[in-house]
Amino acid sequence: MFTLIRLAIRNVLRNKSRAAFTVGAIGFGVLMTLLLGSFVVGLGNAMVDDIVQGKVGAFQVHRKGYSDVRENQPLDLDFADTGANLSNIKKIHGVTGVSPRLVFSGMAANGSQSTMIVVTGIDPAQEYRVLPHANDFLEGKPVDNAVANGAIFGKDLADALGLKAGTGGTIQAASKSGQQNALDFELRGALNNGNAFESKRSVVVPLRWAQNLLGMEGRVTELAVSTQNREDIPAIAAQVQNLLGPDYEVQTWKQLRPNVDDVVNFQRMVLGAICSIFLVIAIIGVVNTMLMAVLERTREIGTMMAVGMRRHRITELFLWEATTLAVIGTGSGLAVALAIIEAVARKGGVPANAPGSAAVYYIVPAVPFDLLAPTLLAAFVGTILAGAYPSWRAARLNPVDALRAT
Amino acid sequence: MALVQLQNIKKSYQLGKTEVVALKGVDLTIEHGEFTVVMGPSGSGKTTLLNIIGCLDRASSGSYKLDGDEIGHRDFNDLAEVRNRKIGFIFQNFNLIPVLDVVENIEFPCVIRGEDRKALRERTLKIAAEVGLTPYLKQKPDELSGGQRQRVAIARALVTEPQLVLADEPTANLDSTTADQIIDLMLKLNREHGVTFVFSTHDPRVMEHARRVVRIHDGVMEDGTDAAAHEAGRMHAAMGH
């Protein structure tokens, strides 16, 4: 076998320009697949990080039935913001934070005009641990318990009401019993995260202020939970569901924002199609090279047969030649791709807009195993399979005809 | 026992819709140690005959015994084994493998059958010295002259210690001086090692040295086969050369 491998390597190198072209085709396929793939993965990671670490958390806990009516921000599906729920969830291995929230709808007014809003009351100490990227797109200051009535508005909402940081107005909302209450607020900042609904309707206030407004001291409607690793989210969510029992529902970020997961999956599907094209181009290059080699070396194949080389050894020889091309092509494509990805990642990624969003994400390219392994495997196996037909043709040559070839 | 025994060998090809009959019932016996020339005009069937003797092709009908074994109906891989073990080839165009150097080219038939490298290398160097290739062992074929390349082909044909060496127009691409040297070399190998040579050639110098000339015309062995030379071959073999 060693002799065949050595012979195969020499055969590949005998026509250096053709070998370089073929290796280049394979390498280009691998390079483009990994580069495109790493950026798509990076974009997906940025989008998911934005959701998981900036908006909803890894998963959320509500009272049973909340998800069916969440558009109405119901207050009657509430629960205590202290006690067993929080402390028990925090004890679960892998949970890094739990943020209690009180979500409700109301009206914001600036004295001359008012508009409908969706308000989230948060405990900033807990919230910003669960959502470290919550204020990435904030213009101004975040919610702070030191400023009891300090609120953050969506950018479009603040603009519509003519509010600037330091100015204020009134938020009015109905309590569980239907009684209308109103409290003054002071605008601390405006959130411009590219989400149209949040920009036009979203308001974030301190939890205590929200509870005071609604007369719901010590009560919340939602827990946002963060985890150490994204991969562990489903398992931890299931653990929490078991812990809390049937009176509560636990929904992961994928259930809360299914469109994001759909977008990520769609991106990967498109990536797969594009990469398949690259791979097909590379494979056509290999088939062409190998067929040319068989054609050019027909008499040589005849000579090998004449001196006693068996058909399967001829096949092996050409398959080793394809393998040589696969190793060099795949290896060079991998090396260049990793070098570029590493260089871009070290610089902190590249800025880009997520589809359907004005928000700018920094895409840090990444090559997870589930991208790397199929790419290398497809390029490697594809190249060898591309050599299979020419190898078979070489082995089926009739020695007399082969020796007669010019 | 004769080395080669052909009985009523027929060979026909399908060329489009036409059936071409290349051999029309050839009988031929070649003894161990003979130095035989097969001659005939182009299209007479001599290359087909050599291909069948060399197990590169199979007869359409008839019997072919090589060293007593009926091999006419064996499959491709069996015939590859026979070629590797019992037959050496010398081609008009040398047919060396360009990416291998002289030593590797000579050793190639033995390497593909997995022979022990150390013993093989000793034998290769001995044969290379015998055919005058010692100064060129690490050269590639394209760095050699035509005569040197044919010497490599001869060494490659002999390294397996075959019973039969088939040479298809071995001097056709050589100048007259080199051709004489190659003929002398093959005669010497035939004389000293008792290797059986069968040639296909038009070269009168080869025919001068042949102990036996077999003429073929239009797929049929012609009368006039040199019976005396045949007998000389028998004698030569019987003397243990």
Which pair of tokens denotes residue B73?
A: 């109906």
A3 contacts in chain B (CB < 8 Å):
111-112
Q: Which of A305, A307, A316 is the best substitution to test chain B (most B C-beta atoms within 10 A)?
A: A307
Sorting pLDDT into bands at 50, 70 and 90, what band is B206? confident
B116-160 per-position pLDDT tens digit: 889 999 999 999 998 899 999 999 999 999 999 999 999 999 999
The reply to whether B140 touches chain A by the CB within 8 Å rule is no
B110 contacts in chain A (CB < 8 Å):
none
Which pair of tokens denotes residue A88?
A: 């028990």
Residue range(s) defining the domain that contains residue A158: 57-255
| pLDDT at residue B236 in the model | 46
When the pLDDT of each residue in chain B is averaged and rounded to a whole number, the result is 87
| Domain identity same for A62 and A185 | yes
* A305/B111 touch (CB, cutoff 8 Å), yes or no: no
pLDDT (tens place) for every residue of chain A, 406 residues total:
667 899 999 999 988 998 998 899 899 999 999 999 999 888 888 888 888 998 899 999 999 999 888 888 889 999 988 766 677 898 899 999 999 999 999 999 988 899 999 999 999 999 999 999 888 888 899 999 889 999 999 999 999 999 998 998 999 999 988 899 999 999 999 988 777 888 899 999 999 999 999 999 999 999 999 999 988 999 999 999 999 889 999 999 999 988 888 888 888 888 888 888 888 888 888 888 888 888 999 999 999 999 999 999 999 999 999 999 999 999 999 999 999 999 999 998 888 765 545 567 788 999 989 889 999 998 888 888 888 989 998 999 999 989 988 7
> End of a domain among A188, A223, A255?
A255
Of B76, B81, B95, the CB nearest to A303: B95
With a pLDDT cut of 90, the percent of chain B lying above it is 54
| Domain identity same for A151 and A228 | yes
The reply to whether B100 touches chain A by the CB within 8 Å rule is yes
What is the rounded CA–CA span in Å between residue B121 and residue A162? 94
* A306/B156 touch (CB, cutoff 8 Å), yes or no: no
* A308/B57 touch (CB, cutoff 8 Å), yes or no: no
A303 contacts in chain B (CB < 8 Å):
89, 91, 95-97
User: DSSP of A78-96, one letter per residue?
Assistant: -EESSSHHHHHHHHSTTEE
| pLDDT at residue A355 in the model | 54
| Domain identity same for A98 and A37 | no
Mean pLDDT for the stretch of residues B177-189: 85
Q: Give the closest-approach CA distance of A384 to chain B in angstroms.
A: 22
Report the residue of chain A nearest B165, measured CA to CA. A307
Residue range(s) defining the domain that contains residue B169: 4-238
> End of a domain among A240, A255, A270?
A255
CB atoms within 10 A of CB B81: 15
CB A155 within 8 A of CB A199: yes
CB B192 within 8 A of CB B200: no
| Domain identity same for A269 and A225 | no
Residue appearing with tokens 């049973």: A64
Number of domains chain A is built from: 2
What is the rounded CA–CA span in Å between residue B146 and residue B175? 9
Say if residue B189's pLDDT is above 90. no
The reply to whether B95 touches chain A by the CB within 8 Å rule is yes
Q: Which long-range contacts (CB under 8 A, 24 or more apart) does B234-238 make?
A: B234/B31, B234/B34, B236/B33, B236/B34, B236/B194, B236/B211, B237/B31, B237/B32, B237/B33, B237/B34, B237/B194
> End of a domain among A190, A223, A255?
A255
* A400/B51 touch (CB, cutoff 8 Å), yes or no: yes
**Torsion-angle region of residue A194: left (phi > 0), alpha (psi -120 to 50) or beta?**
left
Q: What is the CATH number of the domain that holds B185?
A: 3.40.50.300
| Domain identity same for A135 and A90 | yes
Number of domains chain B is built from: 1
CB A139 within 8 A of CB A192: yes
| Domain identity same for A200 and A277 | no
| Domain identity same for A126 and A246 | yes
Determine whether B197 is exposed, middle or buried from the number of CB atoms within 10 Å of its CB (0-12, 13-18, 19+).
buried
| Domain identity same for A96 and A153 | yes
Q: Which long-range contacts (CB under 8 A, 24 or more apart) does A73-79 make?
A: A73/A103, A73/A104, A73/A105, A73/A118, A73/A221, A74/A221, A75/A104, A75/A175, A75/A176, A75/A214, A75/A216, A75/A221, A76/A176, A77/A221, A78/A102, A78/A176, A78/A216, A78/A219, A78/A220, A78/A221, A79/A219, A79/A220, A79/A221, A79/A248
Which helix (DSSP H) or strand (DSSP E) does residue B200 occupy? Answer: strand B196-200
| Domain identity same for A299 and A376 | yes
| Domain identity same for A62 and A198 | yes
| pLDDT at residue A234 in the model | 94
Q: How many CA atoms lie within 13 A of A138 on its CB side?
A: 22
Complex prediction ipTM = 0.88
| Domain identity same for A67 and A168 | yes
Q: How many angstroms from the chain centroid is the CA of residue A179?
A: 44
Q: Which of B46, B49, B76 is the best substitution to test chain A (most A C-beta atoms within 10 A)?
A: B76
| Domain identity same for A277 and A241 | no
Residues ≥6 apart with Cβ < 8 Å to B241: B33, B191, B192, B193, B194
